[in-house]
């Protein structure tokens, strides 16, 4: 009798351990294991459906947030909204690959150059802004949408100060320019240029 109870206990421990391990797996691996062991396991939800559901949830949240900002009048309180074209057209697969570890079709440092090939040709210019030179577009730009123009992560009058806080030789001139409501990009190209200091 004792051996029979021990076998059942051992079987229970093995099955419990297996289920515990399965709960730690990613959904694809879990589905493969379950279909190998059991019949009638429902098909996993396609990534496109998960993505569409996520997009709709985000969109509804944005609309609700905007309605809260404008008191329900339908007019958004934001001055500018920019959206990345693939994001706006729901062409997520232009950038995303849900089978890769990073979830992108290319490494992040190469991704933007797939569409923005004109930037790649300027990498040989005499002066290239550091983030552009290494393909780190996300240093300044958001990948999907922004409350600022050009998908900038913050207002164009403030974004340069995120990195450039050192004292400048032309500090007095820069102070005068700022008091007149000009932005850095009025004189400097933010990506590359032929002239020193990216002057236009």
114-155 pLDDT per residue, tens: 888 888 888 888 889 988 888 889 899 999 989 988 999 988
Domain assignment present for 182: yes
Which are the contacts of 131, defined by CB distance < 8 A and separation ≥ 6?
137, 139, 140
Domain assignment present for 158: yes
Domain assignment present for 65: no
Residue 25's pLDDT band, with cuts at 50, 70 and 90, is: low
Q: What is the pLDDT of residue 72?
A: 46
Please tell me whether the overall predicted TM-score, pTM, comes out greater than 0.75 for this model: no
pLDDT exceeding 70 applies to what percent of the chain?
76
Q: Which of 148, 145, 140, 141 is nearest to 78 (CA)?
A: 148
Domain residues for the domain of 140 are 78-198
Q: Which of 114, 112, 118, 115 is nearest to 135 (CA)?
A: 112
Domain assignment present for 33: no
Token pair for 75: 């007019």
Backbone angles phi, psi at 97, to 5 degrees: -130, 110
Mean pLDDT confidence for 79-106: 85
Number of independent structural domains in the chain: 1
């Amino acid at each position: 009798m004792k051996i029979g109870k021990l076998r059942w206990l051992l079987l229970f421990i093995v099955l419990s351990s297996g289920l515990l391990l399965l709960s730690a797996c990613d959904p694809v691996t879990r589905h493969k294991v379950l279909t190998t062991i059991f019949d009638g396991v429902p098909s996993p939800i396609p990534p496109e459906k998960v993505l569409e559901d996520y997009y709709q949830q985000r969109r509804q949240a944005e609309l609700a947030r905007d309605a809260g900002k404008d008191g329900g009048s339908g007019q958004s309180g934001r001055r500018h909204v920019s959206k990345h074209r693939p994001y706006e057209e729901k062409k997520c697969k232009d950038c995303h690959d849900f089978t890769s570890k990073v979830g992108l079709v290319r490494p992040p440092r190469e991704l933007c150059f797939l569409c923005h090939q004109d930037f790649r040709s300027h990498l040989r210019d005499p002066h290239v802004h550091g983030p552009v030179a290494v393909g780190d577009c996300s240093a300044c730009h958001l990948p999907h949408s922004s409350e600022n123009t050009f998908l900038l992560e913050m207002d164009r009058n403030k974004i340069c100060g995120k990195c450039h806080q050192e004292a400048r030789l032309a500090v007095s001139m820069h102070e005068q320019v700022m008091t007149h409501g000009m932005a850095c990009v009025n004189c400097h190209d933010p990506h590359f240029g032929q002239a020193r200091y990216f002057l236009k």
